[in-house]
Structure 1
């Protein structure tokens, strides 16, 4: 099928400088709407322009670094200061306070009204797609900053200098826009990469869950199920491989092509010996979160957990999500090797993957397996067609069970959906006697969501929105703790890859802190300088 990325360059060329930064003045060299908005074909090209960057791939891959499940060593990449709580308006912090996409969508929605379509449904469908993109952009900004200006259009920079709307006002705007867009959309996309009902419903679902509007989240999740287009992939690993890009589990993904619109982000995730940067890596906290293969947590009596061999007998998703020390690996040269991030020297030579060797070595001694394994699936990891997932069906099931449990408590329906996710990877079904109350089932649902979706950019939002028994954000506990890594050695004589790592202790990676005001990001200083009516978030 045709993909949206095939037309990306053409759409971007037409959009040109008219999609300048939100707070810039109207450029004198912008293409005139009177000469560029003439036909349905013109609208199609501008529609593609609205897709360029609509889902922030960098954010998806980096966001777990801002949680207890990940780490970003390189400060200039803008997520380390979020993870350790040292954010300010002027230091290196990811900037999501951007209105370029909003402006692009506003221009589209204004100018498409002047074009006559042979089929009114086609026009409505295009409008629905752009409304969805705009709503998703506002949702991401609103969640990160807690209220931003709602501006549908403006002619001058001065008109754009308005105060922030409240978080609740922006949330209502997002909800209303999605509710208006969804009926306009086709049930299935015309080609891979376009937005149809499933993607818009997924945005509705996620935004409602984040704001604890559980009935709305449940209804959106059920609507996705009722479309009948999506299902769990029989293979968990397959979803994140090139071979799985057409999986029925994937609802939306960032489209890439090796030649036209390649992905270089995946290459930055590999460890030093594979010529990567270790830009975003998983943490020991994630390893500790996995159940044992018998369904018990590692802290429970009878679990069989061995701290000397912490990777042994764990939920199979651990080895499908994380590249851990001791596992077999085929490196970028095509050589069979064993991952060793524990020993400072290997065969008398400096180990390039030991955390202390280089800035590019993983400081946690761990690397993500999602998208990275096997390395041989890519001809050139710096120019790959890896497609980062935005929404997948497992999130739909996990959203439904969380919302339903919060609304009504345990049910056979919840257990069945959790069992679908667990048995897919060979884990035992839920022990219903153990997880038989709303509170105990909540604990399991949160853990299941955390490990199933690890590395997919959702953990930070989850620990911000989840509350403990005292009403505190979970982030206040898990991010007010030192980040640590395993220490030990690799036993090369051991045949079992799960037991090759002989762990002797832990060492500090980074001290971290989290204050309640860290719930929101600081608005960058340059945005405050451009719009004097903006008010900075408290605490910054």
Structure 2
């Protein structure tokens, strides 16, 4: 489809209706509704203002750094303190406590009511899109901070000094918003980047799965399937390339154009030797999570795992997700292990801040590097929702509700078979508990690097009721050490691992389930806004 949204975003200034900076209610270029909200065209222009920055693009790429699967070395970028468990209300912590987008949506929904449309369905579609955007913002904030204020359109800072709503109240608001939006929305978007039914349903699915409302999650996933618009891409790695941006697996993605509305963040992900910053990198913990190619975990007898060659004989998704030492890369052998190569300093392991401290780099969105004319100005479009998540969410919800079934095994096999992994061993994973283990692992490796891992390890609990994050995020984060054997022809065996070294110590306490509310926000509303426990 035509990338209409990209072109409109690139040329649109944002509009607003207020003059106070409290609760982000103060766009400096505010225009009077009396002079701007007259026609359908006016409403469409303001709609683009609601889209600008609506999706959590930064988080899609960075959030795994706040989990056991990722690491962010540069503290000023905001995720290292979260991953290490050293967060404070005044620290360098990624800030999602913002009501600017919500206020923008509030103003849109208030003002569009007075605009006459020749087609009521068109008006409803615009309203449904904005309600979905607003629900997404509340979902992020509710999940990351707990209860937040459900705000109105305020005229003054004093009016905006409102208390926090509870988690349950915000959750209900999100569900109600989406339930209203879905029937208003078109079945398919008018152009790439616009919200239609599939996106709203995917948000309902993800939110209800995170809140452990499994029947709602299952129903939303089934509704997406019934749309008949989405399917697994035959090629897993194609999804994360420029060539795959029109894949039928993608439900929603952040739109970019290399000339008009470019994505420069991709450059920061490359390793030092490729001119990048290693801003967000995967960890050996992720590598350890992949099954062997025979379907056994590396801990199981007969798996064939060799700690000296940990990249050999693994689930093919490993090599499609992670750039690992020893692989072929840009016409050379990728070496992140040796300090020197042929007597010269190795730019990927010379102690520079921009070297990957885990010896690993993401392959998703980065490979091949040749797909970008300029890595600092790309048309990379990070995926927000895709169909594999739908299948995995349905499988998880159905297993939690009713236990194993042929339907669940079939969905998991679709995902596994796509990359050449064997069918699920139904004897080994024949109970709700054992299948839960597999579903969680399958979700973890399928969606690695897509920003969902921290939320998953917080919402998942072990047999004792303890958050999985309390286990996997407590203790040292380590990287492998060793050397590259230049005479080895098998890329998966060129890395000869001899040990490990400390990257950082990490801590996760129960109160880390939520982020601290920024002190600057509390200072503006000391009477009504209370800090989260533990900070």
TM-score (norm 2): 0.98
The match for 1:531 is 525
- Of residues 350, 370, 373, the one that matches 2:367 is 373
Alignment of 1:307-326 (within 5 A): 307-326=307-326
Please state whether the residue corresponding to 2:319 is helix, strand or coil: helix
Decide whether aligned partners of structure 1 residues 69 and 14 sit closer, same or farther in structure 2, where only a CA change above 3 A counts.
closer
Alignment of 1:182-261 (within 5 A): 182-261=182-261
The match for 1:23 is 23
Is 1:496–2:490 an aligned residue pair? yes
The match for 2:50 is 50
Kept after mapping to 1: 8 A contact 2:16/2:29: no
Kept after mapping to 1: 8 A contact 2:15/2:29: no
> How far apart, CA to CA, are the structure 2 residues paired with 1:20 and 1:157?
6
Please state whether the residue corresponding to 2:140 is helix, strand or coil: helix
> How far apart, CA to CA, are the structure 1 residues paired with 2:156 and 2:116?
28
Alignment of 1:82-481 (within 5 A): 82-330=82-330, 336-354=331-349, 357-481=351-475
Q: CA deviation at 1:370?
A: 0.1
> How far apart, CA to CA, are the structure 2 residues paired with 1:377 and 1:28?
38
Q: CA deviation at 1:357?
A: 1.8
Unaligned runs of 5+ in 1: 331-335
> How far apart, CA to CA, are the structure 2 residues paired with 1:348 and 1:309?
25
The match for 1:487 is 481
Q: CA deviation at 1:369?
A: 0.1
User: Per-residue CA shift, 1:386-420, capped at 9, x if unaligned?
Assistant: 00000000000000000000000000000000000
Range moving further from structure 2, 16-25 or 483-492 = 16-25
Please state whether the residue corresponding to 1:509 is helix, strand or coil: strand
> How far apart, CA to CA, are the structure 2 residues paired with 1:472 and 1:26?
42
Please state whether the residue corresponding to 1:177 is helix, strand or coil: helix
Kept after mapping to 1: 8 A contact 2:255/2:381: yes
Q: CA deviation at 1:21?
A: 4.8
Could you list the structure 1 runs, at least 4 aligned residues long, displaced by more than 4 angstroms after superposition: 16-22, 24-29
Q: CA deviation at 1:20?
A: 7.2
The match for 2:8 is 7
Kept after mapping to 2: 8 A contact 1:288/1:298: yes
Kept after mapping to 2: 8 A contact 1:292/1:313: yes
> How far apart, CA to CA, are the structure 2 residues paired with 1:460 and 1:131?
26
> How far apart, CA to CA, are the structure 2 residues paired with 1:292 and 1:179?
42
> How far apart, CA to CA, are the structure 1 residues paired with 2:17 and 2:182?
30
Please state whether the residue corresponding to 2:159 is helix, strand or coil: helix
Q: CA deviation at 1:28?
A: 7.9
Decide whether aligned partners of structure 1 residues 285 and 88 sit closer, same or farther in structure 2, where only a CA change above 3 A counts.
same
Q: CA deviation at 1:17?
A: 7.8
Kept after mapping to 2: 8 A contact 1:202/1:220: yes
Decide whether aligned partners of structure 1 residues 319 and 21 sit closer, same or farther in structure 2, where only a CA change above 3 A counts.
farther
Kept after mapping to 1: 8 A contact 2:399/2:432: yes
Q: How many residues align?
A: 533
Decide whether aligned partners of structure 1 residues 26 and 14 sit closer, same or farther in structure 2, where only a CA change above 3 A counts.
closer
User: Per-residue CA shift, 1:194-233, capped at 9, x if unaligned?
Assistant: 0000000000000000000000000000000000000000
Please state whether the residue corresponding to 2:523 is helix, strand or coil: helix
Kept after mapping to 2: 8 A contact 1:234/1:424: yes
Kept after mapping to 2: 8 A contact 1:351/1:357: no
> How far apart, CA to CA, are the structure 1 residues paired with 2:481 and 2:369?
26
Q: CA deviation at 1:448?
A: 0.1
Please state whether the residue corresponding to 1:159 is helix, strand or coil: coil
> How far apart, CA to CA, are the structure 1 residues paired with 2:284 and 2:362?
12
Q: CA deviation at 1:462?
A: 0.1
Kept after mapping to 1: 8 A contact 2:201/2:223: yes
> How far apart, CA to CA, are the structure 2 residues paired with 1:170 and 1:329?
47
Kept after mapping to 1: 8 A contact 2:19/2:27: no
> How far apart, CA to CA, are the structure 2 residues paired with 1:14 and 1:422?
44
> How far apart, CA to CA, are the structure 1 residues paired with 2:266 and 2:382?
9
Decide whether aligned partners of structure 1 residues 39 and 277 sit closer, same or farther in structure 2, where only a CA change above 3 A counts.
same
> How far apart, CA to CA, are the structure 2 residues paired with 1:225 and 1:27?
40
Kept after mapping to 1: 8 A contact 2:324/2:334: yes
Q: CA deviation at 1:14?
A: 5.0
Kept after mapping to 2: 8 A contact 1:10/1:45: no
Q: CA deviation at 1:436?
A: 0.1
Decide whether aligned partners of structure 1 residues 419 and 27 sit closer, same or farther in structure 2, where only a CA change above 3 A counts.
closer
Kept after mapping to 2: 8 A contact 1:19/1:103: no
User: Per-residue CA shift, 1:323-379, capped at 9, x if unaligned?
Assistant: 00000010xxxxx1111010011111111101x520000000000000000000000
Please state whether the residue corresponding to 2:496 is helix, strand or coil: strand
User: Per-residue CA shift, 1:90-123, capped at 9, x if unaligned?
Assistant: 0110111000000100010011111100001100
The match for 1:522 is 516
